[in-house]
Structure 1
Amino acid sequence: MKKEKEEELEVTRLNKFISHNSNYSRREADKLIEEGRVSINGKPVTNLSTKVSINDEVRIGKKLIKEDKNRMYTVIMYNKPKGELVTKNDPQGRKTVFDSLGKQYKHFLPIGRLDYASEGLILLTDSVDVANKLMHSKLERIYKIKVDGEIHPKVEEAMLHGIELEDATSGAHEKSKIKSMNFEPFVAYKILTNNKSFSKLKVAIAEGKNRELRRFFGHFGLNVMDLKRFEFGGMTLNNLPTGKSRYLTKDEYKDLRSFLNSKDD
């Protein structure tokens, strides 16, 4: 009976409620709770495992923390290593990002994907709306790429102006049903190393279609040897170690809320 009542009242952990409805991070919320500065319905609380419902009155000091339904979501960042799949389950028993993240994130949705051989930034959220808006946005995705050959003028021309391919199967997964693909001009690119043995680039694109970069370079006979995404919409890995995750910072949440509340994507 108690469980049914909690679900009906949308019970939320107190630190999560505070971080999603104020400018405090979860860590800062925990400190406020430990210091006895948070009250629920007029009574101070210090237990970090305390939960609240939408009917509770939460205050930090005298300031009332009001629920903003647009902010009641969680987004985490994960630095995916090579050799993990961005999926809930794999029929072949290969390791997935959820095996590394743990059971508490089983209900989260990945925002876009990185293939088995790629690494870097993956965002995950417990909100379908947030996931959909970010996945279908034109926010910049920035990658570092290594290919097994030279970046010749035709490659640069396609990066600058885009290219439409009837056959975009080079670099695609063997079971992919997507054959043709239209590649928009890259938002930006920088060639870091360029020679016949291998080349390294930093590229920014505004989409994240099915193996888009592998297909693009594959068309020019360039096999992608390494691919790492390190930024998505201004949110960056920074020093997050491979295989580790973190919550967004309060500044990242602030920028994300501004984007989600805007009409343009």
Structure 2
Amino acid sequence: MKENKNQNYKNKKEEIVEELTRLNKFLSHNSNYSRREADKLIEEGRVKVNGKVITNLATKVSSKDEVQIGKKNIKEDKNKMYTVIVYNKPKGEIVSKKDPQGRRTIYDSLEKKYKHFLSVGRLDYSSEGLLLLSDSVDVVNALMHSNLERVYKIKVNGLITKSVEEAMQHGLEVEDARSGAYKTTKIKSMSFAPFLAYDIQSNGEKFSKIKVVISEGKNRELRRFFAHFNLDVLDLKRLEYGGVSLNNLPTGKTRFLTKEEYKNLRIFMNEDDRSI
């Protein structure tokens, strides 16, 4: 792959300091309820904070607060052993618990025991490939807000020109980046950082295939980038995220992280290495 010397290659985790945590997030992190299920419990008046029934979904708590669901105390478990799975998402699935349009979601395919797992970012309906999910909100947030490398294989409906390569090498500022985005997007302008690396595997007037490495995960970033050059992304598949690869995982299947991948994740999370 061609490497972009303008990009800082060091993968660093953005520090997320939160003294207060939204109540639904606290519940989903320290129980088997999803955030949406936690919201329902709060609305139904089944959650107490320091002995007081809470119905405000915007309520925030700290580790010092006493939180209860019914009569059960929900305590923050800082030593909780989290689980991370890799899912090879097929095209035609939404990364969401439910879809207003009735389309299939990833949770329709995943085993029921993973229904409370949260996804690390999203892949849109037409995209496929590696999706990480975890039962730890801290892990999900840390991975989502990191500049870890994401590797994608892309097919576009045209020629990858010199101007496209220059934009991949040096970055791009687009005032109107709505092309390639969802019709309902509220994000108009967008700044595209230089790609970490790219490899043009085929380049033709009708179709081109390219493998790219980026360190961001903005809203339909790659589709918007290529749309700026009047190139439609026909196929998009994520192959790697933060050193975790699909390898030979079949489409629609899941696997746990390997011991080595868990070890690397704990280093990333600044935790002591513990046996799985």
TM-score, normalising length: structure 1: 0.72
Query: C-alpha offsets along residues 48-79 of structure 1, whole Å, 9 cap, x if unaligned?
Result: xxxxxxxxxxxxxxxxxxxx945611100000
Q: Where does residue 258 of structure 2 map in the other structure?
A: 249
- Aligned residue number for residue 127 of structure 1: 136
Q: What percent identity do the matched residue pairs reach?
A: 69
Whether the 8 Å contact between 1:71 and 1:257 is mirrored in structure 2 is no
Q: Deviations over 1:101-137 (max 9, x none)?
A: 0221111100010000000000000011110000000
Partner of 2:225: 216
2:167 matches 1:158: yes
State how far apart, in whole Å, the 2-side matches of 1:87 and 1:71 are.
25
- Does the 8 A contact of 1:78 with 1:243 survive in 2? yes
- Mark the runs of 5 or more structure 1 residues left unpaired by the alignment: 1-9, 13-67
Return the letter of the residue paired with 1:87. Answer: S
SS for the counterpart of 1:158 is: helix
Counterpart Cα distance in 2 of 1:257 and 1:206: 20
Which of the pair has more CA radius of gyration? 1
Residue 258 of structure 1 aligns to a residue in which SS? helix
Distance, in Å, in 1 between the alignment partners of 2:79 and 2:154 is: 36
Aligned Cα RMSD in Å? 1.8
Letter in 2 for 1:178: I
Q: Which amino acid aligns with 1:155?
A: V
- CA gap of 1:242–1:233, structure 2 versus 1, over 3 A, is same
Cα distance in structure 1, aligned partners of 2:261 and 2:187? 34
Quote how far apart the aligned CAs of 1:99 are: 0.6
One-letter amino acid matched to 1:89 = K
Residue among 123, 147, 156 paired with 1:114: 123
Map 1:231-246 onto structure 2 (within 5 A).
231-246=240-255
The question of whether the paired residues in 2 share the 8 Å contact of 1:140 and 1:234 is answered with yes
2-side partners of 1:71 and 1:163: how far apart?
A: 42
Q: Residue 139 of structure 1: SS of its match in structure 2?
A: coil
Amino acid in the other structure paired with 1:94: R
Q: Which amino acid aligns with 2:152?
A: Y
Cα 1:118/1:11, change in 2 over 3 Å: closer
Q: Which runs of 4+ in 1 moved over 2 A?
A: 68-71
Aligned to 1:193, which of 179, 190, 202?
202
1:96: which partner in 2?
A: 105
Aligned partner of 2:216: which letter?
Answer: E
Mapping of residues 43-54 of structure 1, within 5 Å: none
**For 1:120, what is the secondary structure of its paired residue?**
strand
2:169 partner SS: helix
The 1:222–1:250 alpha-carbon spacing in structure 2 relative to 1, beyond 3 Å, is: same
d(CA) in 1 for partners of 2:148, 2:161: 28
Aligned residue in 2 for 1:170 = 179
Larger mean CA deviation between 70-79 and 96-105 belongs to 70-79
Aligned to 1:30: none
* TM-score, normalization by structure 2: 0.70
Q: 1:71 to 1:162 in 2, by over 3 A?
A: farther
Determine if contact 1:79/1:245 at 8 Å carries over to the other structure: yes
Deviations 1:69-102 (A, max 9, x none): 4561110000000000000101111100011002
Alignment partner, residue 230 of structure 1: 239
Question: Using the alignment, how far apart are the partners of 1:248 and 1:121 within structure 2?
Answer: 12
Query: Where does structure 2 lack aligned partners over 5 or more consecutive residues?
Result: 1-29, 33-76, 272-276
